[in-house]
């Protein structure tokens, strides 16, 4: 009887101990939540006092892995980010440029939530996220950069910089190529699906060489001639590019992705049965098309950052459209051919004859 009472007493004490432990854990969790909720609505300047526009290194009892805590923001008193603009190719260019320039200037790079939401479902990116609730309190200074590397970008002054613009030039980040390739590693589920599609295209062929073809159309069909005195890739350019690979490889397979797939089906020569219109052309979910392109051996690009990044990540031979504007185009003030395309890539000049009537009219 006495033994039974002791057991009940021990059981009761154990229950009390577990309950007390649970209470302490929940209480600390509640305090932490209240801390973050409170500070999300307080200007960061009140939490991290400024000295000559630079925040002091205030230590908080928060783990370094918590990239969303104000303590971490304060400790990294030289924070850079980049303003997300455009679609996938633009986001990739902005991410890679931020990665490279922050490293060159000894700054800590964060990406905004919008960019993370765009890139993270496709790539295994590693830069920490600065959530909107905190980002709005950071006194960023916007710093516009053009689309080629300049020496001045190695010496940017300021602790809280937000890069702006549409940078996508290899001149910013090519010296960090291995890092960039790692950042833009495709998620396994996309790789698996892309490889499944390519395997299905193989059929009876034994020595297949896959050529990814990205045909950029959409808004560029009117934008290039009407705004930039330029053209986009036509049937003649694509025939030249495809014939280059047909001459070089015994069993090429051309995997076409485009936001103008109907035009591609009507204009690309498939008399040899080696052209496959595999992309879905959905610009709102570009991951599948991009994964297809980067799973190929070589690339034919036309115009735009989507094709550039596919070519850059593939690393094989790349054929691109060059000299696609008139010499007096304002576009050339924003875009340099030698900074846009790697020296080893093969350029085929565009046919500018459709612009001649427009040119004579001016």
- Sequence length of the chain is 362
Q: How open is the CA angle 31-127-134, to the nearest 5 degrees?
A: 40
Q: What is the pLDDT of residue 25?
A: 46
- pLDDT of 29 > 50? The answer is no
Q: Return the minimum-mean-pLDDT range out of 14-28, 158-172, 174-188, 246-260.
A: 14-28
Averaged confidence pLDDT in the chain:
85
Q: What is the pLDDT of residue 4?
A: 58
Q: Return the minimum-mean-pLDDT range out of 66-70, 112-116, 166-170, 301-305.
A: 66-70
| Gyration radius of the chain over CA positions | 27
Find the Cα–Cα–Cα–Cα dihedral 20, 25, 31, 36, rounded to 10°: -170
Percent of the chain surpassing pLDDT 70: 77
Q: What is the pLDDT of residue 22?
A: 56
Q: Indicate if the alpha-carbon torsion angle 65, 127, 183, 199 is positive or negative.
A: positive
Q: What is the pLDDT of residue 255?
A: 98
pLDDT in tens, 140-190: 999 999 999 999 999 999 989 999 999 999 999 999 999 999 999 999 999
Q: Please give the C-alpha separations between residue 22 and each of 15, 17, 36, 97, in angstroms, as whole numbers.
A: 11, 9, 21, 47
Q: Which residue has better confidence, 332 or 203?
A: 332
Give dist(CA 213, CA 194) in Å, integer: 14
Q: Please give the C-alpha separations between residue 85 and each of 82, 123, 126, 163, 357, in angstroms, as whole numbers.
A: 9, 18, 20, 11, 34
Q: Which residue has better confidence, 21 or 344?
A: 344
**280 confidence band (pLDDT: 50, 70, 90):** confident
Q: How open is the CA angle 322-325-330, to the nearest 5 degrees?
A: 125
Q: Which own/partner pairs from 161-165 qualify as long-range (CB within 8 Å, at least 24 positions apart)?
A: 161/79, 161/80, 161/81, 161/107, 162/80, 162/81, 162/82, 162/83, 163/80, 163/81, 163/82, 163/83, 163/94, 163/97, 163/98, 163/101, 164/82, 164/83, 164/85, 165/85, 165/94
Tokens of 189: 């589920």
- pLDDT of 86 > 70? The answer is yes
Give the mean model confidence (pLDDT) for residues 225-236. Answer: 97
Q: What is the pLDDT of residue 133?
A: 87
Tokens of 63: 């783990």
Q: How open is the CA angle 193-194-199, to the nearest 5 degrees?
A: 100
Give the mean model confidence (pLDDT) for residues 64-89. Answer: 72
Q: What is the pLDDT of residue 46?
A: 36
Q: Return the minimum-mean-pLDDT range out of 130-139, 207-216, 318-327.
A: 130-139
Contact 334, 231 (CB under 8 A): no
Q: What is the pLDDT of residue 102?
A: 97
Give the mean model confidence (pLDDT) for residues 206-221. Answer: 96
Q: What is the pLDDT of residue 121?
A: 97
Nearest by Cα to 310 from 297, 293, 322: 293
3-state secondary structure of 285: coil
Q: What is the pLDDT of residue 7?
A: 58
Give dist(CA 86, CA 164) in Å, integer: 12
CA–centroid distance for 75 within its chain: 27
- pLDDT of 117 > 50? The answer is yes
Q: What is the pLDDT of residue 226?
A: 95
**137 confidence band (pLDDT: 50, 70, 90):** confident
Give dist(CA 21, CA 14) in Å, integer: 11
Give the mean model confidence (pLDDT) for residues 291-310. Answer: 98
Kindly list the structural domains of the chain, giving each domain's residue range(s) and its CATH number in brackets, ordered by start: 54-178 (no CATH), 188-361 (3.40.50)
Find the Cα–Cα–Cα–Cα dihedral 217, 302, 283, 306, rounded to 10°: -150
pLDDT in tens, 44-62: 443 343 433 333 332 332 2
């Amino acid at each position: 009887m006495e033994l039974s009472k002791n057991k009940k007493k021990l059981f009761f004490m154990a229950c009390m101990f577990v309950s007390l432990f649970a209470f302490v854990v929940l209480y600390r969790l509640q305090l932490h939540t209240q801390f973050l909720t409170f500070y999300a609505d307080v200007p960061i300047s009140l939490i991290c006092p400024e000295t000559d526009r630079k925040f002091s290194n205030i230590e908080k009892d928060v783990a370094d892995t918590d990239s969303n805590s104000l303590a971490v923001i304060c400790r990294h008193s030289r924070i850079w980010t980049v303003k997300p603009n455009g679609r996938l190719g633009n986001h990739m260019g902005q991410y890679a440029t931020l990665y490279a320039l922050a490293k060159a200037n000894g700054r800590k790079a964060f990406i905004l939530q919008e960019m993370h939401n765009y890139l993270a479902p496709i790539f295994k990116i590693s830069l920490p996220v600065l959530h909107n609730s905190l980002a709005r309190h950071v006194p960023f200074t916007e710093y516009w950069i053009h689309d080629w590397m300049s020496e001045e970008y190695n010496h940017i002054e300021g602790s809280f910089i937000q890069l702006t613009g549409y940078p996508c030039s290899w001149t910013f980040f090519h010296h960090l190529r291995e890092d960039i390739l790692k950042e833009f590693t495709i998620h396994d589920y996309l790789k698996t699906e892309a490889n499944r599609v390519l395997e299905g295209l193989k059929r009876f062929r034994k020595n297949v060489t896959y050529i990814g073809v990205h045909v950029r159309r959409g808004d560029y069909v009117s934008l290039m001639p009407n705004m930039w005195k330029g053209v986009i890739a036509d049937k003649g350019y694509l025939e030249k590019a495809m014939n280059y690979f047909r001459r070089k490889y015994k069993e090429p397979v051309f995997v076409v992705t485009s936001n103008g797939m109907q035009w591609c089906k009507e204009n690309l020569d498939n008399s040899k049965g080696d052209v496959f219109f595999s992309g879905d052309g959905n610009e709102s979910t570009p991951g599948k098309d991009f994964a297809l392109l980067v799973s190929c051996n070589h690339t034919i690009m036309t115009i735009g950052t989507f094709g550039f990044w596919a070519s850059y990540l593939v690393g094989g031979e790349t054929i691109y459209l060059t000299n696609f504007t008139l010499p007096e185009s304002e576009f050339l003030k924003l875009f340099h051919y030698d900074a846009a395309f790697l020296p080893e890539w093969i350029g085929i000049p565009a046919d500018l004859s459709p612009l001649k009537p427009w040119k004579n009219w001016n």
